Amino acid sequence: MAGSTTDYVAMTSNYTDLTKGAQKVIEASVPLADKHLADNGFFQGQQPATFLDLGAADGGTAVPLWRALLTKFRENSAERPATLVSNDLPGADFNTLFRVYETGEADSLRQRFAPFYVLGNGTPFFQQAVENGSIDFSYSATAMHWLSSAPAKMKDHVHQVESQDACVAEFRDLANQNWSSILKARWAELKPGGIFFAVNFCVSTDNTYLGKTTGKSMFSTFSEIWKSVASEQEFVDTNFPQYYRSKEELETGAAQLGFEVLDHQIVQTNCPYKERFLNGDWTSAEYAENFLPTMTTWSTAVFKSGLRQDRSEDDKTKMINELWGTYKKLIENDPESYQMDYVHSFLVLRKPSGA
């Protein structure tokens, strides 16, 4: 089994282009970020402000959030300095991040909102990324379901969210430990009164989650196809190092540390690719072609990590192609049954002013 998640979890390049759904989720979170920052008196402040975006990939999907917040910020003060620290794992596409914020020269986001400084940071978010008491607003979208490792091997499934294996308890324990480390690090980084807005995949009280809202479940489909492509041992060795927490698990962990829970909502964001198919923009073949990459970007490395080390790269590539080729055919033949709707917890936390 692969070791630390840090070794092999990184989105492929062109992350932003391939993940329209993730951007939609961030857009849906903007009003809540705006409301709680405004209620907290943030926009009226005079001191330099620092934002932290954890697990930001190439930063592109979060542009609508930072643009909205910085526009309001500048309406209140033309001179107040603002810094954005964009965080991800060391292997992330930081080149694109810097291009996103610099492109357009005088019209770049950095220039438009000057004095605005953009920094990259590659510290895994289980640890503190910046110094104590330095952050006004910490944010993370669709990233903290990644665990520090896969703690066990599930015999019946590739993902904990549908596995009946007893070892799922080990995933739960590690998820609790990881969430606690994440929260402790955010607590230390925040200024008193600062906000941490966590937008995380979750399991809703109706037992919906990513790719399982209606029709076929995405993770069931992954598991069924992979069972027919990989050997028995390789199937057991393929384990997503992820955990989809419940609303209660997310909230309890935060309250235990002393965070105030300002807001907590479960939000479903419908698959934008399925919407285009349903609107009649695409045939089923076009739908399958356009939809597939939004699943492959984050999962191909996990499937590959379960394969025997002594297989040739060619062999591994063939098996991965078979997985995605089969999935594509299923979508083409029955497009109504397949989609990747998102189910998120929008959790807004505040470090109390006196802390």
Residues near ligand SAM (CB under 6 A) are 5, 9-11, 19, 22, 26, 55-57, 61, 87-89, 92, 124-126, 141-143, 146, 298
Under 8 Å CB-to-CB from 160, ≥6 apart: which residues? 154, 168, 171, 172, 240, 242, 243, 244
CB closer to ligand SAM, 88 vs 237: 88
Residue with structure tokens 């939609």?
Answer: 24
Q: How far apart are CA 110 and CA 102, in angstroms?
A: 6
Cβ at position 18, least distance to ligand SAM in Å: 10
CB closer to ligand SAM, 147 vs 307: 147
CB closer to ligand SAM, 116 vs 126: 126
CB closer to ligand SAM, 268 vs 326: 268
Which residue's C-beta sits nearest to ligand SAM? 55
Within 10 Å of residue 271's Cβ, how many Cβ atoms?
22
Cβ at position 59, least distance to ligand SAM in Å: 8
CB closer to ligand SAM, 23 vs 319: 23
CB closer to ligand SAM, 141 vs 152: 141
CB closer to ligand SAM, 160 vs 229: 160
Q: How far apart are CA 27 and CA 65, in angstroms?
A: 6
Cβ at position 227, least distance to ligand SAM in Å: 25
Q: How far apart are CA 99 and CA 102, in angstroms?
A: 5
**Tokens encoding 128:** 């503190």
Cβ at position 175, least distance to ligand SAM in Å: 13
CB closer to ligand SAM, 32 vs 89: 89
Whether omega before 115 lies within 30 degrees of 0, making that bond cis, reads yes
**Tokens encoding 266:** 């479960």
Cβ at position 67, least distance to ligand SAM in Å: 15
Q: How far apart are CA 72 and CA 279, in angstroms?
A: 34
Cβ at position 60, least distance to ligand SAM in Å: 8
CB closer to ligand SAM, 344 vs 350: 344
Q: How far apart are CA 155 and CA 144, in angstroms?
A: 24
Q: Assign residue 299 a region (left: φ > 0; alpha: ψ between -120 and 50; beta: otherwise).
A: alpha
Cβ at position 308, least distance to ligand SAM in Å: 25
Under 8 Å CB-to-CB from 315, ≥6 apart: which residues? none
**Tokens encoding 12:** 């492929």
Q: How far apart are CA 14 and CA 233, in angstroms?
A: 33
Cβ at position 28, least distance to ligand SAM in Å: 11
Taking CB atoms within 8 Å and a gap of at least 24, the contacts of 126-129 are 126/178, 126/181, 126/182, 126/185, 127/181, 127/185, 128/185, 128/188, 128/189, 129/52, 129/54, 129/85, 129/87, 129/185, 129/189
Cβ at position 245, least distance to ligand SAM in Å: 15
